[in-house]
Each structure stands twice: as C-alpha cells, then as structure tokens.
Amino acid sequence: MALLDTLRLVLAPPHRAGHPFIAAGAAVAAVGIFVGHGVFSLGLIFTVFCLYFFRDPERVPPQRPALVLSAADGHVTSVGLAVPPPELGLGPMPRWRVATFLSILDVHVNRMPVDGVVTRIAYRPGTFINASLDKASDENERNALAIRLPDGRDLAVVQIAGLVARRILCDAREGDAAIAGARFGIIRFGSRTDIYLPDSVLPLVAVGQTMIGGETVIANLAT
C-alpha cells in the first residue's frame, strides 16, 4: 500500500504551469534524436525533472470544521510570533506564524488553508535569498493573501520566492471563496509558504515537522 501511494505521488499528472517546460524538454529530446545522444539525454532529463517537479497529486482534506491546513508540502522551518505583511492591512500586532520550506523535491502546488473569502491579495517584489532563512519572509519577493473566516477573523497565507524560484503564480482573486484544501497557486523551483494564524489561535505543529499541503492540520480555530 505504501508503495502504491508513493507511485501515485511520483506519477501524479503535472500542474498546468509545468506544461510549457515539459513541452520544451520533449522538443529538445526530439531534436536530439537527429542531432546527437547528448542533446537527447539533456532534453529527456529536463522533461523527467519537470514532470516530477510540477506533479499535482490529489489531496483529501480532513472533513472537520474549524481546522487550519498546511498550504504547502515541505518542512516547518519556524514557528513564532510575527507581524503579517503590512500590505495586507491586518494591523501591527504579532500573531503566530508557521513557515514551511519547500525544497526542489517537494510538491509546489499551494492550497487554501481554510474556508472563507479572499479579501485582499498583494504582491511585493524583493530579493531571492534562501527561503529557509527567517529573513526571507521580509526580504524576498512575495504574494500575500488575506482570508476572512466565516466568524469574521482574518488569516494570512504568503507565497515567498526562494533562491532558485523566480515565479510566483496565484490563481485566486479578491472576492473569491476560499475552500480548505483547494489549489490556488504554485511557486516554481523552491520556495516557502507562511501562514499567519488569527489572533489567539495557537499552532499545533513544530519545527522540523513534515507538511502535506491540504491535509496536515496546523491549528484548530475552535480552541
């Protein structure tokens, strides 16, 4: 069963953002058939890598209300108090932040952490330092979303570019309904995702813990 689950993850269909890269690699490999073994091998390796990197497996969110789910696969690199990005207008008071670092081997599709309504989306350019560093939250290029919960509280999820990543894609729009576990974007080639919990909500995860986007519970809004 574990082997079957692994195969489903590795062989999951690619996210549409990867289609141009996969097509380009396949084209190089096709040309390599006539040009030479080296070109063919390069195109094939790049195609296989992109198929793996852009894989977009199905996820099964917990069917229980008032949970905050991880917005990404990866490992928790920090859990602590921090002020949400000022461009979201959520105020200057620190709140609990859970930062998840996505290595180049992780699934990079981002998922909504809660049910609610997207009230604000703000993009901010920045640097591209290693996303595992704590200062990446402040200095790196980012795309931040504010989500209004049904009870009126606010939560923020932030897509952060990394050392290799140079492109943040966000399909959500202001006014959209957020559905916990639903896809809303992707970050290419290594990144980080931060979640700022509502006031007084405590995280249930620890540094080093493995996250599965759309499935791992990071907080309970009812406690």
Looking at residue 180, the DSSP 8-state letter turns out to be T
CATH number of 67-220: 2.70.70
Q: Where are the domains of the chain?
A: 2-53, 67-220
Distance CA 88, CA 139 (A): 16
What does the pLDDT look like over 27-83, one tens digit per residue?
999 988 888 888 889 999 999 988 888 888 899 999 888 999 999 999 999 999 999
Select from 62, 78, 159, 48 the least CA-distant residue to 114.
Answer: 62
In one letter, which amino acid is 92? P
Q: Residue 151 in 3-state DSSP? A: coil
Catalytic residues: 191
Phi, psi of 135 (to 5 degrees): -70, -10
Task: Please answer whether residues 114 and 154 qualify as being in contact, where contact means their C-beta atoms are separated by less than 8 angstroms.
Answer: no
Q: Residue 168 in 3-state DSSP? A: strand
- Percent of the chain's residues with pLDDT above 70: 91
Distance CA 202, CA 199 (A): 9
Distance CA 105, CA 128 (A): 18
Whole-model pTM over 0.75: yes
What does the pLDDT look like over 115-133, one tens digit per residue?
999 999 999 887 776 666 7
